[in-house]
Amino acid sequence: MDNLLNTVRAKVEQGERLDDAETLELFGCDDLLAIGELAALANARLNGDTVYFNVNRHVNYTNLCVNRCTFCAFSREAGDEGEYTLALNDILAKAAEAVASGATELHMVGGLHPDLPFDFYLEMLAALKADAPQLHIKAFTAVELDYFTQLTGQPVEVVIDELKGAGLGSLPGGGAEIFAPAVRAKICPEKISGARWLEISEAVHRAGLKSNATMLFGHLESHADRVDHLRQLRQLQDRTGGFQAFIPLAFQPDNTRVPGAKGVGGVDALKTLAISRLYLDNFRHIKAYWVMLGLKIAQVALCFGVNDLDGTVVEEKIGHDAGADSPQQLNKEQLMTLIRKAGKVPVERDTLYREVGR
Ligand code: V47
Ligand code: SF4
């Protein structure tokens, strides 16, 4: 292990890439503090002491979904208890609240609704842009974009152009899950393949929009599956440079149908965040999504290579339906205190990582 850690240290110091075998070995290494220190070093070179956050609001417009991923406690079928679809006026009211609270971003994703036409999404974007032009709309995962191609019969490039024309600003990173087909077949058999997720992300970047990338971890995947996932993201980022942030999402097991899955402990979460920082040398931002990690682990992650804490969120359903015990929202002062108490400098950013305030 000392050999491994010395090799990784030399590579970090010289700005060289980790290879897949080294990265797999790191997942098996018990020296969490050494891995974290190396990740912190790699992060400091890119971002110094700065930790970003934003003031945003999540809106999940519907939980009806024609896919029934076994890890998802959020989705419902028509007629199920708790199913909902927000009316356009409800969505506009939430956007107005977001503006009043100083938000710069609306983060909108939903289930694959069985009946809503593609025009609904275009109208939603146009109405939001008309009502709240100051909000950046980060919306729709690659999974939803693929669904829109099925609804319209149009290629994804056309779907992206229409969404962009209606006001879409960028894409969040959901739907990536874990690319390994054998695991995908168990946790999300109806979802698009990892290859299609990557293809759509590439089309998004070619259209001039930024997006994020996620990895759902702590269910049935192996360490090798995680490395495979990271490898494919690093390769695509080499081609496009269109990813802004990588967000490892810690699996929440309650109310899900993943057999035997227990969720993620703090050591695994911190190690996965740190290794992501070390391997993904072409991602400037590694985000600790406090909703899934819990506030304490998200704060400690700031000393393990992480430089972004996401946002104020306000109303979160996907993680909380699956048992996340984090709060529903944080205000700006709480986020800044968390960051300061980790010895870092909080910087409010907009969606495109421009400074809003320091
Ligand atoms: O794609 C679903 C995940 C994602 C569970 O881009 C679960 O800035 C844990 O992508 N346990 C949606 N995770 C959330 C997401 C996201 C969140 C914050 C910021 C950004 C960003 C993106 O949530 C889904 C899926 O991977 N998810 N169920 C669960 N039980
Ligand atoms: Fe539907 Fe997304 Fe939940 Fe899968 S993760 S069931 S696609 S809402």
- Domain containing residue 119: CATH number: 3.20.20.70
Answer yes or no: is 123 within a domain. yes
- Predicted model pTM: 0.98
257 alpha carbon, closest ligand? 1
Residue 111 alpha carbon, nearest atom of ligand 2: 8
Answer yes or no: is 357 within a domain. no
pLDDT of residue 57: 96
The verdict on the CB of residue 251 being under 6 Å from ligand 2 is no
70 alpha carbon, closest ligand? 2
* Residue whose tokens read 């077949």: 185
Nearest residue by C-alpha to atom 14 in ligand 1: 174
pLDDT of residue 294: 95
Nearest residue by C-alpha to atom 21 in ligand 1: 172
Domain that holds residue 80: 2-348
Answer yes or no: is 353 within a domain. no
The verdict on the CB of residue 74 being under 6 Å from ligand 2 is yes
pLDDT of residue 358: 77
CA of 231 to the centre of ligand 1 (A): 20
Rounded Cα distance, 281 and 264, in Å: 24
Answer yes or no: is 354 within a domain. no
The verdict on the CB of residue 140 being under 6 Å from ligand 2 is no
Answer yes or no: is 22 within a domain. yes
Nearest residue by C-alpha to atom 4 in ligand 2: 69
Nearest residue by C-alpha to atom 2 in ligand 2: 111
Rounded Cα distance, 95 and 59, in Å: 9
Q: Which residues of the chain have pLDDT under 70?
A: none
Nearest residue by C-alpha to atom 7 in ligand 2: 67
Answer yes or no: is 356 within a domain. no
Answer yes or no: is 137 within a domain. yes
Q: Provide the number of structural domains found in the chain.
A: 1
Answer yes or no: is 288 within a domain. yes
pLDDT of residue 85: 97
